[in-house]
């Protein structure tokens, strides 16, 4: 999440809304969000219902939920998905920002 915070303004400039879904309960999630002063939306999802909707994998041998990144356009259509194979398998912000630029370009034209 540090990399999302680092480039948060660039996401805002692209009219993107960042929502991070986590496995913690609401109390633990809120405590973490407050302590870290994260500028984007955090959604506690202890029952994994949202994670299942987007196909996020849970691998207990690899410490739980694998990273997943989903880009949903303004009409609600999933336009990009990345499902990580390890906790470090997260697309770089530059890649995500480029995808958002492509999406915004196609929505304008």
In this predicted model, what pLDDT tens digit does every residue of 88-109 receive, in sequence order? 888 999 999 999 999 999 888 6
Domain boundaries of the chain, sorted by first residue? 2-108
Nearest residue to 69 (alpha-carbon basis) of 99, 27, 47 = 99
- Looking at the chain, how many residues does it have? 109
The domain made up of 2-108 has a fold known as: Glutaredoxin (3.40.30)
Q: What is the pLDDT of residue 52?
A: 86
Say how far apart CA 29 and CA 18 lie, in whole Å. 16
Supply the pLDDT for residue 55: 83
Q: What is the pTM of this model?
A: 0.83
């Amino acid at each position: 999440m540090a990399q999302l915070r680092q480039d948060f303004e660039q996401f805002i400039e692209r009219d993107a809304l960042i929502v991070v879904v986590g496995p913690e309960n609401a109390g633990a999630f809120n405590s973490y969000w407050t302590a870290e002063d994260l500028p984007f939306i955090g959604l506690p999802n202890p029952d994994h219902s949202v994670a299942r909707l987007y196909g996020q994998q849970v691998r207990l041998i690899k410490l739980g939920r694998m990273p997943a990144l989903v880009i949903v356009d303004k009409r609600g259509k999933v336009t990009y998905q990345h499902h990580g194979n390890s906790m470090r398998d997260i697309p770089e912000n530059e890649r995500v920002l480029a995808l958002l630029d492509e999406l915004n370009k196609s929505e304008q034209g």
